[in-house]
Amino acid sequence: MQKLSKKTLFAYGCGDFASNLCWTFLGSYLSIFYTDVVGMAPAVASAIMLIAKIWDGVNDPMFGAIAERTNTKKGRFRPYIFYGAPFLALFSVLTFTTFGNGTTSVLWAAFTYIGCGMLYTVVNLSYGSMSMVMTTDPEDIAQLNSFRMMGTNLSSVLLNAISAPLLLKFSGAAAGYTAGAYTKVALIYAVCAVPLFYFVYASCKETIIPPVSETKVAVSTSIKSVLSNKPLMIIFAIQLCAMTAFFGRMGVVIYYLMYNVQRYDLISVFMMLPSLMTVIGILFTKNYIMKVGKKKMLYIGYTGAGISLILIYVVGMTMGYGNIPVLIVLHALYGFFCFSFPIPMAMVPEAVNYQEDKMGVRSDGTSMATISLSTKFGSAIGVSGGLLIMGATGYAANVQQTQSALNGINMTTNLIFGIMFLLCVIIVKCYPLDEEKNKEILVRLDQKAGR
């Protein structure tokens, strides 16, 4: 099969850049928007996020099954990007708006957040599934997911560099960030995201014909085959643990920077640096993934990320939060070791091939929905769990925090999520596939397909 061009790889990377113009701002600032602007108790904000992800548990597999059964001239997944992108952009703005007071404001928050999550599923799940129908070349698949993760982190670098200054600018002379400032910043990102989604739609084509069998597969059969797919379920567990740590920290680190470090002038630096270093880490390591092996690279990445966060916790408890140079170095190291994040996504096509080889059923969309679900669950568990722990240790919005609350914020942001990264190493050890087995599976599938 012809190798993918640099333009195609670049265009594919733009998809997650666009997605995260909507989603990274939400992931980084929504929790503090709920607690410090809307005025919700941490437990209420936590409940909204958990309820949304419970619904995702139903919605994501359903949409995955629908998408992989879609059959149009433009492909199975591309049309959902075309039609879904404007609505995702709209709801990413509505999520940062306020409506009413008390119960009404909570219901509005739940409606907009759940709606945004559903639309993110439509667009991002379709986008992620495309990597499995653009090529069968393992190296190209790894490159696609590396470019995807670079797009993710470059957008995070940009957002984390400019979001705090923009929020300050739009808030004017107000103490803290205003509701209107959040809305304006979200609108800027949404307007920029839509053209990038259309660039992906125009540049990335679906070239791999689905399933070897021409027989129509029932939705229940697809779901059953996915749930019995051991490699995919282990990837699910890896992603659930890693994304709980990653998105959980992303959602609460703003509290750590505002209340523990107390350097508003450096918030952008601390928010931007890990994402920038992740891009550097991916660029430095992406050509070694196939040479060294995916599992070994995951061991290195998760171990390094976990130890870096634990050291940040120890520095705060022993040396104090004013030791900025040491904290900056450790945040940079944490970001670098996050180079491992594209690797599980590159393992999903292996699990899909394994399923087709063993069971004769290929479930690209349902499989990607399953992994997408682990990411969403991880995000919800991490952020909502973090908010609950901080609330239990004494956090209160917009006041001077007690020592117990500061310790709770530090423990949540760094120690707990650092330990979770180390737990990922144990799960990775259970993954049964390696490069040699994957080659054997591909040969058998090519023979069946007559390629």
Alpha helices in 126-229 (DSSP H): 126-129, 131-134, 138-171, 179-203, 219-227
Amino acid at 111: F
Task: Report how far residue 38's alpha carbon sits from residue 105's, in angstroms, rounded to the nearest whole number.
Answer: 8
Backbone angles phi, psi at 432, to 5 degrees: -85, -15
Domain ranges of the chain: 6-208+218-449
> What token pair was written down for 307?
């130890």
Closest CA to 259 of 381, 407, 391, 389: 407
Nearest residue to 370 (alpha-carbon basis) of 204, 194, 222:
222
Q: Which of 305, 205, 191 is nearest to 245 (CA)?
A: 305
Q: With contact defined as beta carbons under 8 Å apart, do 114 and 51 qualify?
A: yes
392 Cβ contact partners less than 8 Å away, ≥ 6 residues apart: 408
Q: What is the pLDDT of residue 392?
A: 92
Measured CA distances, 171 to 56, 174, 238, 255 (Å): 33, 6, 40, 19
Specify the CATH class of 6-208+218-449 in words. Answer: mainly alpha
- Please, what is the end-to-end C-alpha distance for the chain in angstroms? 9
67 near 77, Cβ under 8 Å? yes
Q: Give which of 272, 13, 16, 328 is closest to 158, Cα–Cα.
A: 272
- Burial (CB count <10 Å: 0-12, 13-18, 19+), residue 173: exposed
Q: What DSSP assignment string belongs to 383-430?
A: HHHHHHHHHHTT--TTSPPPHHHHHHHHIIIIIIHHHHHHHHHHHHTT
Residues in the chain with pLDDT < 50?
A: 211-215
d(C-alpha 445, C-alpha 212), whole Å:
8
Angstrom distance (rounded) from CA 443 to CA 101: 61
User: Distance between CA 76 and CA 359 in Å, rounded?
Assistant: 22
Give Cβ neighbours of residue 195 (< 8 Å, ≥ 6 apart).
Answer: none
CA 17, 186, 91, 387 torsion-angle sign: positive
Half-sphere exposure of 40 (CA within 13 A, CB side): 28
List CB contacts of 121: < 8 A, sequence separation 6 or more. Answer: 56, 59, 60, 63, 369, 372, 376
Residue 212's pLDDT is 46
The CA distance from 305 to 337, in Å, is 5
Amino acid at 450: G
- Encode pLDDT of 265-290 as tens digits: 888 889 889 988 998 998 888 788 87
Q: Which residue has the tokens 């991880």?
A: 378
- Tell if the pTM clears 0.85, that is, is over it: no
Q: Is 50 exposed, middle or buried (0-12, 13-18, 19+ CB in 10 A)?
A: middle
- Sequence-ordered alpha helix ranges (H) in 294-363: 294-318, 324-337, 342-359
> What's the CA gap between 34 and 105, in Å, rounded?
10
Q: Is 371 exposed, middle or buried (0-12, 13-18, 19+ CB in 10 A)?
A: buried
Q: How many angstroms separate the CA atoms of 354 and 363, rounded?
A: 11
Per-residue pLDDT at 218: 66
Over residues 47-72, the pLDDT tens digits come to: 898 888 778 777 777 887 788 788 88
Which pLDDT belongs to residue 423? 97
Q: Which residue has the tokens 């740590």?
A: 245
Burial 324-334 (b: 16+ CB within 10 A, else e): eeebebbbebb
Residue where the block lists tokens 């980084």 = 28
Amino acid identity at 400: Q
